[in-house]
Amino acid sequence: MKFFTTEITLSGTGGTDVHDLSGPLSAALAESGVDNGLVTLFCPGSTAGLTTIEYESGVLEDLKAALERMAPRDLAYAHDARWGDGNGYSHVRAALVGPSLTIPLINGRPTLGTWQQVVLLDFDNRPRQRRLVIQVAGNEAGK
């Protein structure tokens, strides 16, 4: 069993940013040398989340609108009253989506559907750097 870990950094704008992780994920899988196993992605922090979606402008707008309906920016949040940072909605959205994702890896490729991409959702209300940890565990290619 082989384990491989790498990290990437992403920059957010302070809106609900949706980062397509196809490129970084493909690069990490190629570098890992693992052909069959699991790949786990994890975003440390409490105002971002990971999921899969078709990375297409219409559905991305639909997702943002749905998140706004579920945890609106303009509601009163106890977090905001306590800390005064105005990002209570970001914490709620991140909790609903979750900070990690695990995908089976078969023949060196993640088992994603034809139109399915892995995305990081940055919900915070200010620009920030996001650290993303990618860990691959499984059998080395050719072994």
Asked if pLDDT for residue 142 goes beyond 90, the answer is no
**How large a percentage of the chain has pLDDT more than 90?**
96
Domain boundaries, the chain: 2-140
User: DSSP of 22-45, one letter per residue?
Assistant: HHHHHHHHHHHTEEEEEEEEE--S
Could you tell me where the beta strands, DSSP code E, fall in the chain? Answer: 2-11, 17-20, 34-42, 48-53, 100-106, 109-110, 117-122, 129-140
Output the CA angle 11-14-16, nearest 5 degrees: 95
Note whether 131 and 29 are within 8 A (CB). no
**How large a percentage of the chain has pLDDT more than 70?**
99
- pTM of the entire predicted model: 0.93
Determine the 3-state secondary structure of 78 from DSSP. helix
pLDDT confidence bin for 89, thresholds 50/70/90: very high
Closest-CA residue to 103 (of 48, 15, 21): 21
Pick the CATH number of 2-140 from 2.60.40.1120, 2.60.120.260, 2.60.120.460, 3.40.50.150: 2.60.120.460
Q: What is the pLDDT of residues 8-34, one digit of tens each?
A: 999 999 989 999 999 999 999 999 999
Place of tokens 């082989």: 2
